[in-house]
């Protein structure tokens, strides 16, 4: 029996597990620090109380019911020991015949300690729920204060990052301010905080088409979002965001959607690391110079694809395709058959901006508006694990968009994190 240990149950890891499920003489062990798979592209909708966490999560053990050769191991990877083929987790030792690392990325604060302590990341379910509580608590505090400067500080929102997460967060925050704030908090009257979207690049949605960039800027401007491009957040002191141009913004809420770094793996040689801490892999996703250890998804960087000589973008589709191909390649490797090199098939990218407005870039062209929004909804429902989750998400979206008044604005389990 060949044991394949997979660390990380994101898009890459789950698609690898699915490809190996049911394979004779192969034992699959999935290790993850959570007991559930979740759908990161919709974290911002959890954070803005638009959908429930259960809509985008699914327990691993339920997912693996009936898959006789698949087991789940709840734990966090501490170190890799390639010389005798085992890993150490916070729950003990696991031996392997083949090891696949698929832990993805972590929030990158670029060494800025104040941001690490005080900014609000949005990378996990815990982050999203904490952010939801934080925003709702600030609104409750704003209702109670009679100090107008303090109220403005509580209601102002700064989002760092001009990529899809930042744009989608800004759009959802703008919708909340426009459609919900005055309904839920009549005590505030016409008072509303400002929403600032700060991007270090000269355009929003930098990797996307010019049409997508212009449309996102136009729609966010309509919502009243103040867009600041070509500047970066340099510090966050005493509830003031300090920008690289010297400007200061008073706020109790700095959301950090500005960068990621590959998850750290102890025990691998330093030379296996590339740009952004990503693990350098060959055309079969094997870590360069290391036997029987592979890396897939956002954690790895592959330079062998002629269409992506600088490495693939850190997108869900890359992770999904790598997971599927590696499953087939590991079976071939065990059977001493030829493996197939990975080449990424670009299926496009998209971002929702606001209600009924999205931008979509596909290989054959780009489009925006209502049809793009419907396309975004459809594409984001398909990968959600479990039929019940898809149905619940579709219903919640329909009701929330129809009424402009979702009922998930609950402060649950709030606690101080910093």
* Beta pairing partners, 26: 2
Task: Give the pLDDT mean for 92-105.
Answer: 97
Residues 237 and 243: their CA atoms lie apart, in Å, by 11
Residues 10 and 242: their CA atoms lie apart, in Å, by 34
Confidence band for 127, pLDDT divided at 50, 70 and 90: very high
Structural domains of the chain, ranges and CATH numbers in brackets: 2-33+75-107+260-334 (3.50.50.60), 113-258 (3.50.50.100)
Given this model, what pLDDT does residue 293 score?
98
Residue 402 has pLDDT above 90, yes or no: no
In tens, the pLDDT along 326-370 reads: 999 999 999 999 999 999 999 888 898 887 888 999 888 898 998
Given this model, what pLDDT does residue 179 score?
76
In tens, the pLDDT along 45-64 reads: 899 988 888 888 999 999 99
Given this model, what pLDDT does residue 188 score?
85
The whole-angstrom distance between residue 379's C-alpha and the CA centroid of its chain comes to: 16
Q: With left for phi above 0 and alpha for psi between -120 and 50, is residue 276 left, alpha or beta?
A: left
Given this model, what pLDDT does residue 236 score?
97
- Farthest CA pair distance, the chain: 74
Rounded to the nearest integer, the mean pLDDT of the chain is 91
Taking Cα atoms as reference points, which of 394, 416, 339, 285 lies closest to residue 52? Answer: 394
Residue 302 has pLDDT above 90, yes or no: yes
Given this model, what pLDDT does residue 259 score?
87
Residue 237 carries which DSSP code? Answer: E
Residue 165 has pLDDT above 90, yes or no: yes
Percent of the chain beyond pLDDT 70? 94
């Amino acid at each position: 029996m060949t044991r394949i240990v997979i660390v990380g149950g994101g898009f890459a890891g789950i698609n690898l597990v699915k490809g190996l499920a049911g394979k004779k003489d192969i034992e699959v062990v999935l290790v993850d620090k959570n007991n559930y798979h979740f759908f990161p592209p919709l974290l911002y909708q959890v954070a803005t109380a638009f959908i429930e966490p259960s809509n985008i999560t699914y327990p691993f053990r339920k997912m693996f019911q009936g898959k006789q050769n698949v087991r789940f191991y709840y734990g966090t990877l501490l170190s890799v020991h390639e010389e005798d083929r085992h890993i150490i987790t916070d729950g003990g030792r696991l031996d392997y015949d083949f090891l696949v690392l698929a832990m993805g990325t972590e929030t990158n604060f670029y060494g800025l300690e104040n941001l690490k302590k005080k900014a609000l990341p949005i990378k996990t379910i815990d982050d999203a729920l904490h952010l939801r509580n934080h925003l709702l608590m600030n609104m409750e505090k704003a209702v109670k204060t009679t100090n107008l400067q303090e109220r403005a500080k509580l209601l102002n929102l700064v989002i760092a990052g001009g990529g899809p997460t930042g744009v989608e967060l800004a759009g959802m925050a703008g919708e909340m301010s426009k459609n919900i704030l005055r309904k839920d908090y009549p005590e505030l009257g016409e008072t509303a905080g400002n929403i600032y979207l700060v991007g270090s690049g000269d355009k929003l949605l930098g990797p996307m088409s010019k049409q997508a960039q212009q449309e996102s800027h136009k729609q966010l401007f309509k919502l009243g979002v103040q867009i600041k491009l070509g500047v970066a957040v340099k510090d966050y002191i005493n509830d003031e965001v300090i920008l690289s141009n010297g400007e200061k913004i008073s706020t109790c809420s700095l959301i950090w959607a500005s960068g990621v770094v590959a998850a750290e793996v102890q025990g691998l040689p330093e030379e296996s690391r590339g740009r952004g801490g990503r693990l350098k892999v060959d055309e079969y996703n094997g870590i360069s110079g290391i036997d029987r250890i592979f890396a897939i998804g956002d954690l790895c960087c592959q330079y062998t694809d002629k269409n992506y000589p600088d490495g693939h973008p850190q997108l869900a589709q890359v992770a999904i395709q790598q997971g599927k191909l590696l499953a087939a390649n590991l079976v071939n490797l065990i059977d001493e058959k030829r493996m197939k090199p990975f080449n990424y098939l670009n299926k496009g990218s998209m971002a929702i901006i606001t209600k009924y407005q999205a931008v979509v870039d596909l290989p054959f062209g780009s489009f925006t508006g209502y049809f793009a929004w419907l396309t975004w909804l459809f594409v984001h429902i398909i990968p959600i694990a479990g039929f019940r989750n898809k149905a619940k998400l579709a219903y919640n979206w329909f009701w929330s968009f129809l009424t402009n008044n979702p009922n998930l604005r609950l402060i649950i389990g709030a606690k101080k994190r910093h």
